[in-house]
Amino acid sequence: MTIRVLDPSCEESISTVVTPKRLKSLTGSSIGLLDNGKPNGREFFDHIEQILRSEYAVANVLRFEKPDSSRPA
């Protein structure tokens, strides 16, 4: 009887990921918010939108809602 030993390790191939440069400011930008349908989500995002507009001068806030939290975005 022959015993065959398998090596589960593999060579990792590391790819370079290029990340975008950070914005210097949010002034005049558009931001998207996705409400996941959990309780009080609307109130939470109302508050976030207010902060984005007043403190960061965001020009446009796009609001999206999922029907419930279990559905994928």
* Domain spans of the chain, in order of start: 30-65
- Structure-token match 């015993």, residue found: 3
Six-digit token pair at 24? 């210097």
CB atoms within 10 A of CB 55: 9
Torsion of CA 29, 35, 41, 46, to 10 degrees: 20
pTM over 0.75? The answer is no
Which residues are paired to 64 by β-bridges? 34
Q: pLDDT digits over 33-54, tens only?
A: 999 989 999 999 999 999 999 9
Question: Does 1 have pLDDT greater than 90?
Answer: no
